[in-house]
Amino acid sequence: MARVDCMRNFFKNYNLSLRTSQKTSLEMIMGFNKIQVEKFYDNQTKIMSDQKFPPSRIYNMNETGITTVPNIIPKVVAVKWKQSV
């Protein structure tokens, strides 16, 4: 039980807590920046002008039910009172 007490005191002294992080996919974290967004819209404009897709052929893939977010989220050590972990 000394390990549990030692860990509890360490967390208490440094205002830490064991929390579950938010479900966010790695692709979303790494790929969402200004350069990637501009590249996406440039590619979309080029494809739309080359292929002449009608609007009825464009789908929002986020509504397919396929997820890249893991179901099991490990707990992490975080500073107390911090909103996003």
Residue 49 within any structural domain of the chain:
yes
Residue 44 within any structural domain of the chain:
yes
25-59 tens-digit pLDDT: 666 666 677 888 899 889 989 988 898 888 788 77
Q: What is the distance between the alpha carbons of residues 25 and 67, in angstroms, rounded to a whole number? A: 9
Q: Three-state SS for 27?
A: helix
> Looking at residue 69, what is its pLDDT?
65
Number of structural domains (the chain) is: 1
> Looking at residue 78, what is its pLDDT?
81
Q: Which domain holds residue 70?
A: 2-79
Residue 20 within any structural domain of the chain:
yes
Residue 12 within any structural domain of the chain:
yes
Residue 84 within any structural domain of the chain:
no
Please provide the average confidence, as pLDDT, over all residues in the chain.
78
Residue 17 within any structural domain of the chain:
yes
Residue 76 — φ and ψ, nearest 5°?
-130, 155
